[in-house]
C-alpha cells in the first residue's frame, strides 16, 4: 500500500471515532491501533467496520481497531499526524460525508439473528473484561513488553538466518556480524524493560533504565550475594521489571518528601542508589531463581505431559484472549527466550489460531446461502492464516457461540499434536513473540534442527485446521441455528422485480 493509502485509511477512521477532539491517546501493538477516547458514544462502529482496511474492532480499556501486522505501523503515524494537524472543532457526524469512498452500510455482514447474538456476546465479553485490579495490572505489564516485540521479531529472524549459515558453512565471515546484530538487543533487553516499566508506572523512564542497566553490567560478576557471585544478566527481564518498579516508588516518595531546592540532586541519586543496592544484593538472585524455575517448569511440562499439556494450552488460549489473561504470558515468553533462546509455549498456543481458521472454513461451507457471512469469512481468512485472528473471532465464531467452542477444540487437538512431539524429544520453540500462524515459520528454532521444527509445526497447523473444521461441521450448529442462519440477509432483488411475462397463462 502506498503512503497515500495509509493516510486515506487514517482519514477515514478519524471522523468515525468522534474526530480529533475525542482522541486522548494513540498507540499501537502488532495488529491494532489503540485509541483513548473521551466519549465512546461518538464512535460509529458499523461504519468503522466498513472501512476496507479495518479487519475488526475491540472495545476494551482502549478502543482498538484491528488493521493487521505491517499496516498498523504505517497507519498509526498518519493518524497521529491528522490529530495534530486538525483545528479544534467539536466532532460532528457530517464528518463522515468527507469520505464518500467509505459509506456506512445499512446492515452488518450477518443475519439479524447473528447480529443480535454478536452484540450480546461482545457485550458479555466486555463485561467479563471489566477493569479488575488483576486485569489492569496485566495490561500494564503487557504495555511494557509489547513495544519490544518488533525488535524481538527482527533479531529473532536474523538469529535464525545466522543459524542456517552456521549449519551450512556458508559465508563464514558474515556469521559473527549477524550474531552480534541478533544478540545486541537481547543483551540489553533488561534496560528497555526498565525504561518502559518506569514510563508505564509514572516514573522517570531513564531512571528506570539506569537501575535495570545494573543487571547487565559486566562488573556485577565481582559482587557476591547469598554466598555466590552474581552473573551479568542474572534475573533478566523479571529482575529489570522489579528493579524499575521499585525505582518508581522511591522516586515518588522522594518527590513528596525531598525539599524542592535539592530535588534535582537528591531524587535521581536516591532513585538509582537505593533500588540499585536492593537489586544487587537481593533482586538479581531471587529473579534469577524464578527465571530458572520458569525454564525448568516449561521443559518438564512438555517433556513429561507433552500431549496433555499441549491439549490444555491450545484449548484454553482463545478463552484467555477473550478475558485478557493471555497478557500474563508475555513476560514468561520473554524469560524463556532469554533462558533458552526460544519459547516452547508459543508454537503450542498458536494452534488456537489454527482451530479458529478450521472452524471458520466449516462455517463457510455449512452456510452456503448466507452470502454476507461468507464474504466476511473470505476477507478474514488470509489474515487468519497469518495469525491475525481477531476478524474471525469477533466477526464469525464468537458471535455464533458454538463455533467458538469448536474452534477451541481444534486448538486443543493441534496443541496436543505439537506437545506430543515435544514429549518424544522433538522440542522446538519461537525465537520471538508476536507472530503466529504461517508468520511463525521464520522464527522457529530448536535443538533437533530447523527441518524438524518446521515439519512438526506444519503438522500441528494441519491437524488444528482439520480438527477445528470437523468439530464445527458436526457439532458447531444445532438444526435451529442452521435454519436461522443459512439464509441470505440481503437477497438479490432482481428476480422479485423482474417484469411479468406478457403471455397469458395456458390451461
Cα separation of 214 and 221, whole Å? 11
For 350, which DSSP code?
A: T
Distance of CA 20 to the CA centre of its chain: 26
Give CA separation, 469 vs 259, 322, 365, in Å. 67, 21, 10
Neighbours of 350 (CB within 10 A): 28
Whether residue 129 contacts residue 323, with contact meaning beta carbons closer than 8 Å, is answered with yes
Closest CA to 198 of 145, 245, 143, 254: 245
For 394, which DSSP code?
A: I
> Angle formed by the axes of helices 175-187 and 149-168, to 10°?
150
Whether residue 245 contacts residue 141, with contact meaning beta carbons closer than 8 Å, is answered with no
Whether residue 231 contacts residue 195, with contact meaning beta carbons closer than 8 Å, is answered with no
Whether residue 347 contacts residue 429, with contact meaning beta carbons closer than 8 Å, is answered with yes
Phi, psi of 25 (to 5 degrees): -155, 155
Phi, psi of 358 (to 5 degrees): -60, -40
Out of 29, 155, 254, 408, pick the active-site residue: 29
- Concatenating the DSSP letter of every residue in 278-314 gives HIIIIIHHHHHHHHHHHHHHHHHHHHHHHHHHHHHHH
Cα separation of 319 and 393, whole Å? 11
Whether residue 332 contacts residue 142, with contact meaning beta carbons closer than 8 Å, is answered with no
Longest dimension (CA), the chain: 107
- Concatenating the DSSP letter of every residue in 81-129 gives HHHHHSPP----GGGGGG-TTSPPPSS-SS-HHHHHHHHHHHHHHHHHT
Which triple of cell numbers denotes residue 149? 516485540
Neighbours of 243 (CB within 10 A): 30
Kindly state the helix (H) or strand (E) to which residue 65 belongs, with its residue range: strand 63-66
Exposure b/e, 28-42, CB count within 10 A at least 16 = b: bbbbbbbbebeeeeb
Catalytic site residue 155? no
Give CA separation, 36 vs 18, 81, 82, in Å. 11, 16, 15
Exposure b/e, 281-302, CB count within 10 A at least 16 = b: eebbbebbebbeebbeebbebb
Phi, psi of 473 (to 5 degrees): -60, -45
Cα separation of 357 and 362, whole Å? 9
Which sequence positions are flagged as catalytic? 29
Amino acid at each position: 500500500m502506498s503512503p497515500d493509502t495509509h493516510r486515506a485509511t487514517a482519514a477515514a477512521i478519524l471522523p468515525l471515532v468522534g474526530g480529533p477532539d475525542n482522541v486522548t491517546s494513540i498507540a499501537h501493538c502488532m495488529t491494532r491501533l489503540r485509541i483513548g477516547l473521551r466519549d465512546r458514544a461518538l464512535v460509529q462502529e458499523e461504519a468503522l467496520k466498513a472501512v476496507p482496511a479495518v479487519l475488526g474492532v475491540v472495545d476494551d480499556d482502549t478502543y482498538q481497531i484491528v488493521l493487521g501486522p505491517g499496516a498498523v505501523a504505517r497507519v498509526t503515524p498518519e493518524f497521529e499526524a491528522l490529530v495534530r494537524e486538525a483545528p479544534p472543532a467539536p466532532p460532528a457526524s457530517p464528518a463522515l460525508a468527507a469520505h464518500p469512498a467509505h459509506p456506512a452500510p445499512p446492515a452488518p455482514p450477518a443475519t439479524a439473528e447473528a447480529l443480535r447474538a454478536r452484540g450480546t456476546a461482545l457485550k458479555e465479553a466486555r463485561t467479563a473484561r471489566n477493569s479488575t485490579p488483576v486485569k489492569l495490572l496485566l495490561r500494564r505489564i503487557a504495555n511494557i513488553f509489547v513495544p519490544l516485540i518488533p525488535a524481538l521479531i527482527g533479531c529473532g529472524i536474523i538469529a535464525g538466518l545466522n543459524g542456517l549459515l552456521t549449519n551450512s558453512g556458508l559465508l563464514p565471515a558474515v556469521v559473527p556480524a549477524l550474531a552480534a546484530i541478533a544478540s545486541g538487543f537481547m543483551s540489553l533487553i533488561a534496560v528497555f524493560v526498565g525504561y518502559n516499566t518506569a514510563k508505564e508506572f509514572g516514573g522517570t523512564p531513564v531512571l528506570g533504565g539506569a537501575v535495570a542497566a545494573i543487571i547487565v553490567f559486566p562488573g556485577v560478576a565481582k559482587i557476591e550475594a547469598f554466598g555466590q557471585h552474581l552473573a551479568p544478566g542474572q534475573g533478566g527481564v523479571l529482575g529489570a521489571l522489579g528493579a524499575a518498579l521499585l525505582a518508581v516508588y522511591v522516586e515518588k516518595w522522594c518527590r513528596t518528601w525531598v525539599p524542592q531546592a535539592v530535588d534535582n540532586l537528591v531524587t535521581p541519586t536516591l532513585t538509582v542508589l537505593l533500588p540499585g543496592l536492593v537489586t544487587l544484593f537481593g533482586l538479581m538472585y531471587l529473579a534469577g531463581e524464578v527465571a530458572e524455575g520458569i525454564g525448568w517448569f516449561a521443559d518438564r511440562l512438555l517433556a513429561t505431559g507433552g500431549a496433555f499439556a499441549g491439549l490444555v494450552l491450545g484449548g484454553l488460549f482463545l478463552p484467555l484472549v477473550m478475558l485478557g489473561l493471555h497478557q500474563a504470558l508475555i513476560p514468561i515468553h520473554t524469560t524463556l527466550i532469554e533462558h533458552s533462546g526460544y519459547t516452547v509455549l508459543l508454537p503450542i498456543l498458536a494452534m488456537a489460531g489454527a482451530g479458529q481458521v478450521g472452524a471458520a472454513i466449516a462455517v463457510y461451507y455449512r452456510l452456503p446461502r448466507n452470502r454476507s457471512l461468507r464474504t466476511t469469512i473470505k476477507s478474514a481468512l488470509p489474515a487468519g492464516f497469518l495469525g491475525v485472528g481477531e476478524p474471525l473471532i469477533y466477526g464469525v465464531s464468537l458471535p455464533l457461540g458454538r463455533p467458538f467452542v469448536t474452534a477451541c477444540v481444534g486448538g486443543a487437538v493441534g496443541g496436543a499434536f505439537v506437545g506430543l512431539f515435544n514429549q518424544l524429544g522433538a522440542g522446538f520453540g519461537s525465537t520471538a513473540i508476536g507472530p503466529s500462524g504461517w508468520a511463525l515459520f521464520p522464527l522457529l528454532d530448536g535443538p533437533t534442527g530447523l527441518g524438524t521444527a518446521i515439519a512438526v509445526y506444519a503438522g500441528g497447523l494441519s491437524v488444528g485446521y482439520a480438527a477445528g473444521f470437523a468439530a464445527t461441521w458436526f457439532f458447531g450448529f444445532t438444526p435451529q441455528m442452521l435454519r436461522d442462519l443459512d439464509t441470505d440477509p440481503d437477497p438479490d432483488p432482481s428476480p422479485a422485480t423482474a417484469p411479468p411475462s406478457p403471455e397469458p397463462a395456458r390451461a
